[in-house]
Amino acid sequence: MTEMTTIPTGDNLLLDEAKSDRKIGWLEEFLGPDNYRIVTGLFKTPASIIGFILIFIFILVAILAPIIAPPVGNDPMKIPRDGFSGEPQAPGSPWKKNVPEIPFWYEPLTGNKEWVHLLGTAQGQYDIFYGIVWGTRTAFRTGVIVVIATVLIGVILGSTAAYYGGWVDNLIMRITDIFMTLPYIMMALIFSSVLTPILGRSLLPPMIAMITFGWMGYARIIRSDILSIKERDFVLAAKASGVRSGRILFKHVLPNAIFPTLVLASLGIGDVVLGFAALSFLGIGTEIGYADWGQVLSFARNWITSLNRYWYIVVYPGLTLTLFVMGWNLVGDAMRDVLDPRMRGKS
């Protein structure tokens, strides 16, 4: 050995301390180490991968809706009707009136030259296939908007409560408690049926109702996370270096506290769509014939006693709804596992 070893004196001992060999990717840089671990963890369990695949398929269907089911008439969100007869028709029965254009994939895939009702028709000859395909857009639209709005309300109220503390905190959290005691679907039902005469039949009344009664969980979780982050040393250090309190909240506290809320929010999309379908099934919301899964299901109400013959009016939309919610729940379960502190370091 001819190499001279440097004697560790004072400063240089530290300089030699190993810089971690791991390369930091842009994603990790963007998300920060903790959040990066959570995101990568999400793609490691089979259940969550299935969940992501399901969600991905639904996203594709929503985007490609005009190709999968070419729109008939002016409003693509209106389910096309093949006549007005009450009795549902079985899958595969030929399409007589209002026949849509035949898309390029249709013939090679089905071997048919004429449009048939792929999944049958519901009461009033609404095409179930169209209802499901275009209803995917409704599902994402309502789910995402309601979740974003509830998260915003929750984060604003929760962080105000946590940041100011004292009577502000008390007031906001007691209001939250009161809202939490109200039964969700019940209140959403009542509130949206009050709103419907004012706003007319559209997606709005149920969405507003669901936003009004859906923000409490987010407010609670962001409040508790902020309360714990607020006590951390780096917040005191930032204060000691003269940083404004608003900046401390937005740059130091919130980015460290918001991730669990975002996870909860992504889970919420499935629940919102389910709740929305429930309201829609009960006849609240959009005008009859609007492409919406709950609406399609509600066509089955009069035929429940003879579902052995008309099974398709329940099974297809029901299955779609189930798969959609399941996709989000699988992802959510994986998120919960990854966020569980006992799982840390196992990755």
Partner 1 sequence: MTNQLLNVRGLETQFNTPEGIVHAVNGVSFSLDEGETLGVVGESGCGKSVTMLSCLKLVPMPPGKIVAGHAFFKGEDMLTMDNDEIRKVRGAQISMIFQDPMTSLNPVMSIGKQMAEPLMLHLGITKEQARNRSIELLEMVGIPQAADRLKDYPHQYSGGMRQRVMIAMALSCMPQILIADEPTTALDVTIQAQIVDLVKRLREELGMAIIWITHDLGVVASIANRVSVMYGGFIIEEAPVKDLYAEPLHPYTIGLLNSLPKINREERQRLYSINGMPPMLFKKPKVCPFAPRCEFVKDHCWQENPVLESYGRDGHRVACWVDVTSGRER
Q: Which residues bind partner 1 (CB under 8 A)?
A: 8, 10-11, 13-15, 17, 19-20, 24, 29, 32-35, 165-166, 232-234, 236-245, 251-252, 255-256
φ and ψ at residue 90, rounded to 5 degrees = -70, 160
Tokens of 299: 């066509």
Q: How far is the CB of 202 from partner 1 (least distance, A)?
A: 40
Compare residues 2 and 20 and give the one whose CB is closer to partner 1: 20
DSSP state of 341: G
- Helices 216-230/259-281 angle, 10° precision: 170
CB contact at 8 A, 168 and 161: yes
CB contact at 8 A, 122 and 296: yes
Q: How many CB atoms lie within 10 A of CB 238?
A: 18
d(CA 332, CA 340): 12
Q: How far is the CB of 33 from partner 1 (least distance, A)?
A: 5
Compare residues 56 and 164 and give the one whose CB is closer to partner 1: 164
Compare residues 35 and 110 and give the one whose CB is closer to partner 1: 35
Distances (CA, A) of 108 to 81, 103, 105, 112, 157: 25, 10, 6, 8, 55
Compare residues 3 and 233 and give the one whose CB is closer to partner 1: 233
Q: How far is the CB of 34 from partner 1 (least distance, A)?
A: 6
Compare residues 8 and 200 and give the one whose CB is closer to partner 1: 8
Q: Considering only CA atoms, which of 292, 75, 257 is closest in space to residue 163?
A: 257
Compare residues 97 and 239 and give the one whose CB is closer to partner 1: 239
Q: How far is the CB of 263 from partner 1 (least distance, A)?
A: 15
Q: How far is the CB of 258 from partner 1 (least distance, A)?
A: 10
d(CA 1, CA 297): 81
Q: How far is the CB of 161 from partner 1 (least distance, A)?
A: 15
Distances (CA, A) of 126 to 233, 237, 294, 303: 62, 64, 14, 14
Tokens of 180: 């939490």
- For the chain, helix (H) and strand (E) counts, in that order, are 16, 0
Q: How far is the CB of 254 from partner 1 (least distance, A)?
A: 10
d(CA 293, CA 316): 10
Compare residues 169 and 333 and give the one whose CB is closer to partner 1: 169
Q: How far is the CB of 251 from partner 1 (least distance, A)?
A: 7
The number of residues making up the chain comes to: 347
Which residues make beta-bridge pairs with 94? Answer: 116
Compare residues 197 and 242 and give the one whose CB is closer to partner 1: 242
